[in-house]
Chains A and B, each alone.
Chain A
């Protein structure tokens, strides 16, 4: 089985494409097609398929192009909104992760340095006779840890990190 196309196949194809076959073709070309297996196959198959194409009619009218156009617009908008929400979601996850990490870090730190805060309860129960004294103990214990500055500071850092990450990823 040879794969080399017939030299006249293009000529035949062009006549078929223009709808000039066989009326506008020469006797010599018609004789060639009758004798050439490749060209006769080409003519037979092309005419059959083109006739089938013309006769392919849907059972119901096609959807209006306007409806399809608006459906596509809606899908594009939804995709664009989804793309823009991705950085927001990323920033939220990042901020949550930082907060969780800080909480875990705090717990680990306290565990490593002994449960020193339990002594505060002891001090507090001893001094609960005087409410003012209790408050004094509480304040001194907290300032000892430095938590009144540390926790809000780290929280602010976590929130700011989220905002910075959001702004950075939004510009990409």
Chain B
């Protein structure tokens, strides 16, 4: 405790409690979590190819969501903001020294199955997804699994809306070609 705190007792505790109110109460958060956790985990696991990392980043995303003053009200906006936080955390993870950049990761990294912790993308997503660039996979997932619009994807990823349109168009065409190369049985059980 610093000498100032002994002069002005409890200044920190009282004011901190007052300013530390979460953007939603515990019950509201519990309901929001129930409805969004599976989607967020699937996004993180599919894009990173690492379920353990997805677990960690998902928890951190929710904690950060609760620590900020949300710019918009409503579950849709909160959910979008949550995906934005998760996308930034993924990017930070790849940028950190010692971890490889998302653009430098070989596509085989995402399709390899070294141990139980690694998500078996070959069995779950199919070789087509494994051959996509990670950024394309992010965009495709947000657009086709989550149903976000170009504007929303731009907001989540930080890319320009016009770029999203072009990137998504190319990525969709590429993955459609790759999917068509596979037998129908594999495609139905991605």
Contact = CB atoms under 8 A, between A and B. Distances in A.
Interface of A: 1, 3, 17, 40-42, 44-46, 48-53, 55-56, 58-60, 62-63, 65-66, 68-69, 71-73, 75-81, 83-85, 88-89, 91-92, 166
Q: Size band of the B side of the interface? A: 35 or more
Interface in B1-24: 2, 4-5, 11-13, 15-17, 19-22
Interface of A is mostly: helix
Given A45-B140, A49-B144, A63-B59, 4 more contacts: A40-B176, A42-B172, A44-B176, A51-B188
Nearest to A17: B147
Contacts of B187: 48
24 contacts: A46-B144, A48-B126, A48-B128, A52-B125, A56-B42, A56-B45, A56-B46, A58-B41, A58-B55, A62-B33, A62-B58, A65-B30, A68-B29, A68-B63, A71-B63, A72-B63, A75-B67, A76-B22, A76-B67, A80-B16, A81-B12, A84-B11, A88-B5, A91-B4
Which residue among A48, A60, A84 has the maximum number of chain B CB atoms within 10 Å of its CB?
Answer: A48
A52 B124 contact: yes
Interface in B106-130: 116, 124-126, 128-129
A62 B63 CA distance: 14
Lowest 8 A-B CB distances belong to which pairs?
Answer: A72-B66, A56-B42, A80-B16, A76-B20, A49-B144, A41-B176, A65-B33, A49-B145
B175 A45 contact: yes
Nearest to B59: A63
Given A45-B172, A81-B16, A56 B38 contact: yes
A58 B45 contact: yes
Nearest to A59: B51
Nearest to A83: B19
Contacts of B19: 76, 80, 83
A56 B15 contact: no
A69 B11 contact: no
Given A41-B176, A58-B55, A52 B145 contact: yes
B95 interface: no
A53 B20 contact: no
A44 B16 contact: no
B173 A41 contact: yes
A14 to B, nearest CB: 11
B169 to A, nearest CB: 6
Contacts of A79: 20, 67
Nearest to B173: A41
Contacts of A56: 38, 41-42, 45-46, 124
B93 interface: no
B4 A166 contact: yes
Given A45-B172, A46-B144, A73 B20 contact: yes
A93 B51 CA distance: 47
Contact of A66 (B21, B26, B51, B64): B26
A48 B22 contact: no
Nearest to B39: A53
B141 interface: yes
B180 interface: yes
Contacts of A80: 12, 15-17, 19-20
Contacts of B129: 52
